[in-house]
Structure 1
Amino acid sequence: MAKEKILIIEDAEDILELVRYNLAKEGYQVSCAMSGEEALNAVRQATFDLILLDIMLPGLDGLEVCRRLRRNIATAHVPIIMLTAKSEETDMVVGLELGADDYMTKPFSPRVLTARIRAALRRSQQEGQLEEKADIFSFGDLQIDCSRHEVSVKGELVRLTATEFGILLCLTKRPGWVFSRYQIVEAVRGEDYSVTDRAVDVQIVGLRKKLGELGCCIETVRGVGYRFNAQTG
């Protein structure tokens, strides 16, 4: 069975070749692009299972490329791991808010990068499996009924507001993925209610309380946002 297809977007030839060599050795099908424009052209001609994206690129930078990939329905859900020499927290937050799924700073270990890629692909596959299932899905003692907008813990119904349900659904649809507050706001925004960036923290506190001992599954990622860890519960 063929391995997943990965697109590497990197303008430094030595780094590009290092990453390409290591991923090809692992059996992945690898394509390369050395500019933002070249990368966008590549995704128009082929589909990829994961994208490695450098921020500092000639022409269109990585942040703009990420923004365009997320706006394109064909690439909106393709995992993106950003690679950059920048290590400031603000750069990481901006990248994640634009839709990147993970972030690694240079220099990095090829083995660690490969492990991150495996994890991102595994999460993406799990998400796809969840979307193919019925409206009811479970994480241990936590059960979510999408059609009825109901949540139960150990068989007991938990009464959530529309916003709380939306946040929980957003996090559980991609277990392990980190969502910024901005991404959560975008996911739960609706006509009958609204939630601001700061209000997300308040909603999370209330949601954790209502979930009881399973509230710890909603983890805070300092400086970034929140994620759902099914293993914690």
Structure 2
Amino acid sequence: MKNVIITGTSRGIGFEMVKLFSEAGHNVLALSRNSKPVSDLKLKNVTALEFDIANEPEVVNLSAYLQKAMKTVDVLINNAGFLVNKPFAEITAEEFKRSYGVNVFGVASLIKTALPFMKTDGHVVNISSMGGIQGSVKFPGLSAYSSSKGAVITLTELLAEEYKETGPSFNVLALGSVQTEMLEEAFPGFKAPLSATEMAEYILDFSLSGNKFYNGKILQVSSTTP
């Protein structure tokens, strides 16, 4: 049984991952600004906490909880994301800051909090986007989102290098389009080739075994563009 932390668990891929990890017998800490969807499931070995990854004091306080309730962290999946689809001229400074607050700064803070509880064979999986891959097809309206996801990719590579002697391993999955609520909100009517459950199954498998084969790698998980 692994101790697993997943962010962004109130819906979409994160919500499905919580169910899959629970079914597989793992101990899950589900972090989201809205804990009710997971709490209502009453799953075995799952704790759902109200948590805003962009709120620095909440991230700091998480350390005390981990010390008391979890002791060790085997897998950290940074799945939480904030997406705004607007022309660059219309995106507000607050929306841009929120994108980076959730997608970059929050990820960095949570990793820093979890690291003291992770061992050499631990695995940090950061969820990015094909939009963050240099040279990939880009879409108007995603300047804040895609650029922040590009930053997460570079951060992952840097951390893998910095911790290559001691662990844990760091990898990043650049996802293509997945049929989630966030995708529907950003691109109404667009139909993705993969469901949230299908992608959750892939991420679960990768998070448990991918660090045996990869460290500091970017895996493009997409059969289409976007």
Report the TM-score, using the length of structure 2 for normalisation.
Answer: 0.45
Report the TM-score, using the length of structure 1 for normalisation.
Answer: 0.44
Higher normalized contact order (CA 8 Å, seq sep 6+, divided by chain length): 2
